[in-house]
Copies of this chain bind each other. A is one copy, B any other.
């Protein structure tokens, strides 16, 4: 219903939504008119009697609407001078600063992402139905900061069985993803005596940021083809170290058995904490999986895992298996961060693990990623057809990405990345993963999990032909 009102110099087209009731409709219409400036600040309104007559409403309705809008501050009542529009600031424009958003590149070869098109929708939906129809209503209420016991129990079995982790449910804390886990842990370390933490160099740059924000000083732990160079820890005042023993990020190296022992010995001797980042431990192709370091010395290792690489980062489900002394402080830090992690996702994942749907999904993914890894090696690996002679592919025995180092005399990392951006190919550069700028090997990280099955070969072809072009250019350059 639309009405017009033109009393006391005001001429206003008011759209009253009668479905919401006369009074509510009038209030909304007036709020809108005040907000968008049709009713200017300071304008005197008609008397309730006049407006009621004008609109064909009961006077009490108009009067109640005025009272409500006065209470909310849209109108002001001045003794002796009736009701007027309050002096409101201008309404928000749509110019709020936009935050940067990841845009999916045409050829998505970014590392660290699984193929979310393979998300096990049907299995997840079945587990959801089971959880929602069988769980007691208490599951919608409050939850232990450590996380739901159902998921902690399922994970204790699963991680013991598949990763050799010595886990009991009371040692596990569920977090809203891996990133929160490392942040909480860094905060707890900071609250205790730890000030210096060693992190692999090169290593995950975002984790350095979150650890520094918590207040710790980060020192680099160099990496070679046998993984982190553990002997560099001794002598330093390092209280904790973050490592990726199963598949070093980004080089893909496996921590050598002697270094595993050296790391354990370091923890025993110094009392320091080893933070084991098992980010893609589920994916091994050429040999049997390397069990978690945590199983060797569970009282000195915080084991961190995630569903982001198996199901998808959208679920925000991560977990820590902790030495007993850290469980209380970490759970307390979790409580102060966000009380506890969303519970339905926890229960659904617990059901998926218990009914072996999680295993089935990982097995199927492993086969698919292995084929993709093989295709990557065929297109980019050594051989007469290698796009850029001298380039090398590393770390492909496991995980979801390969490290490609660029040959001396060929294009620089910056040149390749610029060309990739131009061609809509999403890869990562190695440069920002080092702790410091300087003379480092040039390389790019190529993820082979993110694209859909049918988009992957084309993405690989696009990258290969881009690299081939660099080779042609190099050859075309006149030798001086």
Contact = CB atoms under 8 A, between A and B. Distances in A.
Contacts of A88: 296-297
A378 interface: no
Interface in A57-85: 64, 68, 70-74, 76
A298 to B, nearest CB: 5
A260 B314 contact: no
Interface stretch (A113-121, A273-281, A427-435): A113-121
A143 interface: yes
A47 interface: no
Contacts of A478: none
Give this chain's copy count. Answer: 2
Contacts of A414: none
Interface in A293-346: 293, 295-300, 311-317, 322-325, 327-328, 331-332, 336-345
Contacts of A293: 73
Contact of A316 (B97, B261, B340): B340
Interface string A372-407: 000000000000000000000000000000000000
A341 B337 CA distance: 13
A315 B288 contact: no
Interface stretch (A6-14, A175-183, A228-236, A459-467): A175-183
Contact of A164 (B72, B268, B311): B72
A132 B121 contact: yes
A418 to B, nearest CB: 23
Given A257-B70, A339-B316, A144 B268 contact: no
Interface string A156-191: 000000001010101100011101100100000000
Contacts of A117: 137
A288 B128 contact: no
Residue in A74, A116, A142, A322 with the greatest tally of chain B CB atoms within 10 Å: A142
A288 B26 CA distance: 13
Nearest to A175: B338
Contacts of A291: 31, 68, 72
Interface string A73-113: 11010000000001011011111111101101000000001
B340 A296 contact: no
A316 B295 contact: no
A99 B331 contact: yes
Contact of A141 (B89, B314, B340): B314
A209 interface: yes
19 contacts: A31-B164, A71-B290, A72-B295, A72-B296, A73-B257, A73-B293, A88-B296, A89-B300, A92-B299, A94-B170, A96-B170, A99-B331, A113-B142, A116-B137, A128-B132, A142-B313, A176-B341, A180-B337, A213-B336
